[in-house]
Amino acid sequence: MSVSTVPTALDALVTGLTAALPDVQVVDGQPVSTEGDVICIGFGGVPGEPAVESTRTREQLAREPDREQYDIACLASSWSGDTDAKTVRDRAYELVDAAADVLAADDTLGGVVMEARITTDSLTQEQTAEGAVATVRFIVHADAFTS
């Protein structure tokens, strides 16, 4: 039976980013609160949206394992309580860069996947009654064989 690597890859991302960013709230899935800086793994910013989109294919004539490729929706957000958009935008991208550094240090996520890397990102900025907020939604693409 082929077992997906998605759950283990999510765990590895959360663990790696928590270790790399001890002063940042790293969340597995949707956050409960978003004060300050936060990175969400397996959450794209809209409740109910897919956290991971996966495709499995059979390689050559082998019945198992399946090759799976998937995109993990993640976001990095910064809020400082003032109206300076540049400060929170720069900080949000620092958080994404930290995620890229974690993947550069071990793009196999501890041997869970063949390769994982950030492939796309998109920035939203807004001024709220509580101050400026910048959020970068980014995708971690993984290529693996099921176990």
Give every CB contact of residue 82 below 8 A, 6+ residues apart in sequence. Answer: 131, 132
Q: Which of 48, 3, 4, 38 is nearest to 18 (CA)?
A: 38
Tell me the angle at which helices 6-20 and 85-105 cross, rounded to the nearest 10 degrees.
Answer: 120
Query: How long, in residues, is the chain?
Result: 147
pLDDT tens, 126-143?
999 989 999 999 999 999
Q: In order of start, what are the domains of the chain with their CATH numbers?
A: 6-55+68-145 (3.30.2000)
Helices (H), the chain: 6-20, 85-105
Res 81: pLDDT = 87
| Separation CA 73–CA 106 (nearest Å) | 19
Report the DSSP pairing between strands 37-41 and 25-28: parallel
Tell me, what amino acid is at 78? S
88's CB contacts (< 8 A; 6+ apart) are 78, 79, 80, 125, 131, 132, 133, 134
pTM: 0.92
* 60-107 pLDDT tens trace: 666 667 899 999 999 999 998 899 999 999 999 999 999 999 999 999
Helices (H) and strands (E) in the chain, counts: 2, 6
